[in-house]
Amino acid sequence: MRSGFVSLIGRPNVGKSTLLNTLINEKVAITSKVAGTTRNIIQGIYNEPDYQIVFMDTPGIIRPINKLGKITNKQALSLVKDIDCLLFVVDASAGLGKGDKFIMDVLKKTDSPVILVLNKIDKISDEDILYNINEYKDLYPFAEIVPISALTKDNTSRLIEVIKKYLKDDVKYFPEGMKTSNSKYFMISEIVREKLFDVTLEEIPHSLTCHTSFYEEKKDIINIHVDIIVDRDTIKKIIIGKKGERLKEVGTRSRVELENMLGKKVYLELFVKTIKNWKDKERYIKELGFLDF
Ligand code: GDP
Ligand code: MG
């Protein structure tokens, strides 16, 4: 038996959540075309008869622009310590940027082996893959460099094999069959949040949060309420849409996925609420569970 903890680190939008989903083979982390939509540390657990890998998805390391930003930054930094190995995920199709250099400076504070994961290789040529490898390899003493595509699953099983070399423990941390340690309520609100981003696309900034406020399981149906919290009435209007059409679409899409996940009919009610400057109000942040790490 070999086991260990592995953190995914990288700029927003490079594909960390997608990779986590691919490796765990179930939807555990929100993925979105809008940068910075993962705020919480999401653990996904990979199981094989003789292996257990506990993955942690870090929120993208971003410059602290408000309290929430600062918290996620601290959170991200704390994740480079005491870890069996780190996956530094980069977008190979975007090339080396300032943000990557900033993260590599952070990584210098850790003794843990760092695997460079060159993601999105489905978008570039083999020549460009080599170019990327050369560009990164002199900047940091990476333990390994693995080019992959989280989207097409190209080379992701090889990544698992590489990670196995760095697992140090010989205990099973979580019972088998458990794929994520996140609570059901959290998963529910994440699904609604994802559908919101899908439906509204780039129209809304990512200053919103979702919170499951009610959950009642009956014989044939589950009643669920989710609050969508934004900081401005203008955003609230956008989310609701003309005659409530947008919110209805978000509700329909969410319900379909929730019914799949929960295996029962779902009656879902969504409430959009404005809380001015919620990002700067730690009280709310606490209430919403962002500080439970
Ligand atoms: P995160 O912010 O690092 O967690 O990034 P996400 O996992 O949310 O992904 C950001 C965007 O990149 C999404 O639109 C994904 O579908 C896309 N993406 C992720 N991995 C790949 C990949 O391997 N290839 C391509 N073409 N797109 C990807
Ligand atoms: Mg993410």
Compare 240 and 187 and report the one with higher pLDDT: 240
Dist. CA 20 → ligand 1 center (Å)? 11
The answer, yes or no, to whether any atom of ligand 1 lies below 6 A from the CB of 99, is: no
CB of 34 within 6 A of ligand 1: the answer is no
How many CA atoms, within 13 angstroms, populate the side-chain half-sphere of residue 187?
18
Question: Of the residues 8, 9, 13, 16, which should be mutated to test ligand 1's pocket, given the most ligand atoms within 8 Å of the CB?
Answer: 13
Residue 227 structure tokens: 């609050």
Give the tens place of pLDDT for each residue, 241-286. 999 999 999 999 999 989 887 888 999 999 998 877 666 655 555 4
Taking residues 177-185, report their average pLDDT: 70
Q: Which atom of ligand 1 is nearest to 32's Cα?
A: 8
Instruction: Supply the pLDDT for residue 179.
Output: 67
Whole-number Å distance, alpha carbon 214 to ligand 1 midpoint, is: 31
Among the bound ligands, the one closest to the CA of 15: 1
User: Angle between the 233-240 and 184-200 helix axes, to the nearest 10 degrees?
Assistant: 80
* 3 pLDDT more than 80: yes
Which protein residues have their CB within 5 A of the ion that is ligand 2?
Answer: 16-17, 38
Give the number of the ligand closest to the Cα of residue 29: 2
Structure confidence at residue 26 as a pLDDT band (50, 70, 90)? low
Query: Is 13 near ligand 1, meaning CB less than 6 Å away?
Result: yes
The phi-psi region of residue 152 (left if phi > 0; otherwise alpha if psi is between -120 and 50; otherwise beta) is: alpha
289 — pLDDT class (breaks 50, 70, 90)? very low
* Chain mean pLDDT for the chain: 81
40 C-alpha to center of ligand 2: Å? Answer: 9
Given its phi and psi angles, is residue 155 left (phi above 0), alpha (psi -120 to 50 degrees) or beta?
A: left
C-alpha Rg value of the chain to the nearest Å = 20
Half-sphere exposure (Cβ direction) of 198: Cα atoms closer than 13 Å: 14
Q: What totals of helices (H) and strands (E) does the chain contain, helices first? A: 9, 9
The CA 282 to ligand 1 mean position distance, Å, reads: 30
What predicted TM-score, i.e. pTM, was given to this entire model? Answer: 0.71
Cβ(112) – ligand 1 distance below 6 Å: no
> Which of 37, 148, 151 most suits a substitution to test ligand 1, by most atoms within 8 Å of the C-beta?
151
119 lines ligand 1 (CB under 6 A): yes
Tokens linked to 264: 């029962």
